[in-house]
């Protein structure tokens, strides 16, 4: 009466009692079918290996790694490379994967990709978001083949990581090498420009103003000293010419009043001049001996100048030697020639110093313009030098990283667990198949029972009578086989039999009508 009224617990127990076999039989049959399918379905064996990501063995503070890409991204890239047709086709041909299933090569490659599983391991202890390792597994109908193919895939990952890192560091090194060569050429050009500029404006460069000023001061001092010395030498020449004239006018004798003859005064003056020259070479002008000698020279010159001139004078102050000259006059003429040569040297020295003074004055006046141009050149040079130094530093770091990768001391993949040889298939699982068959049979049996009960219209209880007639039941008569043969009693009854169209499973119910 499933489709006609609400059932209670007793109704369910009754249904289970009547139709329990309809539930048990499909459940048992489908469980047996599932058990049998485990012998028909091709088994699948899974071989698995663990690959750990080992970090660089040298601290990053000493050798900075060139490859800084996230390991997860690199693993995804390597996975796509390894699962490509060019990598999988040799493995398929070597192990004849799925060769007995009459599949095309493209289908075999797709099936191989489906059977390869790569599962990353995320660190839960470090909580750094890093990738300490990953699992590689391969599924195949043959356990030994699954193990070999899993080993091949793991080897491809290890090799791909080494090659990728080596190519990355070598490519970086080659790129930096070419950039460094370009930077060196640019630096050499700037260096040549700077050298030409420094050679052109030597002495006018920034930083040379103070030495130029000091040199100019020193040259001015030297010019003053040369001018003073030239003045003294010209005075000495005048005195010398006067002495020669006196020597030629007077005969060598002692004066009337016992004074020394002019020739003796001239000899004494010459001695004092020689002494002055010797002292000035060793001492300064304010040295007491120098001052005393100069005072004597001044007094003696005053005496010579105050002496009376001769009445007639036919002498000459020529420096040319004369045969009639006395030895004193000849000596004076030689000294006069020396003075002329000294005067010429002093004048030449004075001109040289003046030329140098003009040169240093020109350097000082042109320094601001040269300094501005020098700043532009040195700015470009410093920029090229800084760029070159930075590239050289990166180049050295890249070389160390390349050598580190060649020695396999950088980040690398290490096979922690070799691919295992599976001893039991992962598919099909007999327990799963039997359980699934049993549950499927159970569901099918329940559906059949529900369908039968929904179509069943037999009246088996007072509740069934009420559901059909909406009339109360006056009494219930137990069913017996003999009652069906006796005549019907007087009064209206509901019974179960062929005439009423009801099935006689339960006692009759008297409705009282």
Is the bond preceding residue 284 a cis peptide, omega within 30 degrees?
A: no
Asked whether residue 137 is assigned to any structural domain, the reply reads no
Whole-number pLDDT of residue 455: 77
- How many structural domains does the chain have? 1
Whether residue 95 contacts residue 80, with contact meaning beta carbons closer than 8 Å, is answered with no
Asked whether residue 349 is assigned to any structural domain, the reply reads no
Asked whether residue 197 is assigned to any structural domain, the reply reads no
Whether residue 436 contacts residue 32, with contact meaning beta carbons closer than 8 Å, is answered with no
Sequence-separated (6 or more) residues with CB below 8 Å from residue 401: 63, 64, 65, 66, 169, 172, 410
Whole-number pLDDT of residue 153: 92
Whether residue 237 contacts residue 302, with contact meaning beta carbons closer than 8 Å, is answered with no
Burial label for 403, CB within 10 Å (0-12, 13-18, 19+), is middle
The HSE-up count of residue 403 (CA atoms within 13 Å, CB side) is 7
Whole-number pLDDT of residue 124: 59
Asked whether residue 355 is assigned to any structural domain, the reply reads no
Asked whether residue 200 is assigned to any structural domain, the reply reads no
Asked whether residue 493 is assigned to any structural domain, the reply reads yes
Asked whether residue 268 is assigned to any structural domain, the reply reads no
Asked whether residue 494 is assigned to any structural domain, the reply reads yes
- Cα Rg of the chain, angstroms: 65
Q: Which is nearest to 106 in space by CA: 95, 114, 118, 94?
A: 114
The residue range of the domain holding 501 is 459-513
H or E element at residue 508: strand 508-510
Residuewise pLDDT in 10s, the chain (513 residues): 445 567 778 777 878 888 888 888 988 998 888 888 878 777 888 999 998 887 776 776 667 776 666 777 888 888 888 899 999 999 999 998 887 778 888 899 999 999 999 888 876 554 444 578 889 999 988 889 999 999 999 999 888 888 888 888 888 888 888 998 999 999 899 888 888 888 877 777 777 778 888 888 888 888 888 888 888 888 878 877 777 777 666 544 444 444 445 556 767 777 888 788 778 777 887 788 888 888 888 887 787 777 655 444 444 455 555 555 667 777 777 878 888 888 888 889 888 988 888 888 887 887 778 878 888 888 888 898 999 999 888 888 888 888 777 776 777 788 888 888 888 888 777 788 889 888 998 999 889 888 887 777 777 777 777 777 777 777 777 665 554 444 444 433 344 333 333 443 444 444 444
pTM value?
A: 0.50
Whole-number pLDDT of residue 509: 42
């Amino acid at each position: 009466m499933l489709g006609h009224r609400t059932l209670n617990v007793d109704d369910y127990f009754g249904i289970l009692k009547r139709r329990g076999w309809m539930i048990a039989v499909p459940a048992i049959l489908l469980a047996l079918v599932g058990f049998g399918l485990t012998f028909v379905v091709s088994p699948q064996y899974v071989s698995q290996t663990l690959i750990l990501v080992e970090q660089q063995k040298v601290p990053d503070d000493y050798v900075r790694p060139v490859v800084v890409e996230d390991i997860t991204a690199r693993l995804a890239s390597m996975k796509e490379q390894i699962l490509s047709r060019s990598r999988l086709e040799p493995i398929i041909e070597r192990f004849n994967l799925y060769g007995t299933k009459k599949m095309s090569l493209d289908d075999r490659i797709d099936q191989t990709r489906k059977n390869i599983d790569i599962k990353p391991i995320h660190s839960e202890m470090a909580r750094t978001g890093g990738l300490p390792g990953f699992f590689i597994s391969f599924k195949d109908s043959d356990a030994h083949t699954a193990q070999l193919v899993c080993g091949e895939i793991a080897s491809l990952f290890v090799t791909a990581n080494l090659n990728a890192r080596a190519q990355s560091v070598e490519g970086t090194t080659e790129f930096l090498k070419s950039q460094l060569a370009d930077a060196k050429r640019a630096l050499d050009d700037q260096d040549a420009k700077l050298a030409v500029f420094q050679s052109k404006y030597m002495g006018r460069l920034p930083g040379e103003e103070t030495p130029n000023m000091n040199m100019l001061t020193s040259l001015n001092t030297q010019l003053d000293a040369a001018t003073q010395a030239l003045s003294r030498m010209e005075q000495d020449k005048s005195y010398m010419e006067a002495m020669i004239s006196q020597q030629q006018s007077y005969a060598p004798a002692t004066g009337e009043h016992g004074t020394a003859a002019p020739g003796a005064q001239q000899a004494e003056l010459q001695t004092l001049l020689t002494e002055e020259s010797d002292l000035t070479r060793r001492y300064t002008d304010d040295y007491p001996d120098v001052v005393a000698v100069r005072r004597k020279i001044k007094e003696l010159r005053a005496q010579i100048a105050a002496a009376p001139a001769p009445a007639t004078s036919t002498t000459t102050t020529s420096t040319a030697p004369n045969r009639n000259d006395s030895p004193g006059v000849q000596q004076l003429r030689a000294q006069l020639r020396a003075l002329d040569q000294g005067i010429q040297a002093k004048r030449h020295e004075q001109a040289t110093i003046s030329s140098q003074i003009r040169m240093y004055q020109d350097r000082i006046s042109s320094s601001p313009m040269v300094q501005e141009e020098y700043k532009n050149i040195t700015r470009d040079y410093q920029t090229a030098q800084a760029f070159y130094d930075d590239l050289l530093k990166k180049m050295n770091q890249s070389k160390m990283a390349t050598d580190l990768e060649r020695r396999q001391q950088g980040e690398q993949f290490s096979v922690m667990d070799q691919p295992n040889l599976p001893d039991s298939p992962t598919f099909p699982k007999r327990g799963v198949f039997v359980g699934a068959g049993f549950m499927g049979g159970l569901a099918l049996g329940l559906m059949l029972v529900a369908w039968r009960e929904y179509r069943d219209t037999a009246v088996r209880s007072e509740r069934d009578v009420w559901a059909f007639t909406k009339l109360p039941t006056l009494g219930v008569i137990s069913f017996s086989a003999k009652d069906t043969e006796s005549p019907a009693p007087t009064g209206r009854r509901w019974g179960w039999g062929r005439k009423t169209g009801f099935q006689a499973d339960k006692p009759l119910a008297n409705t009282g009508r």
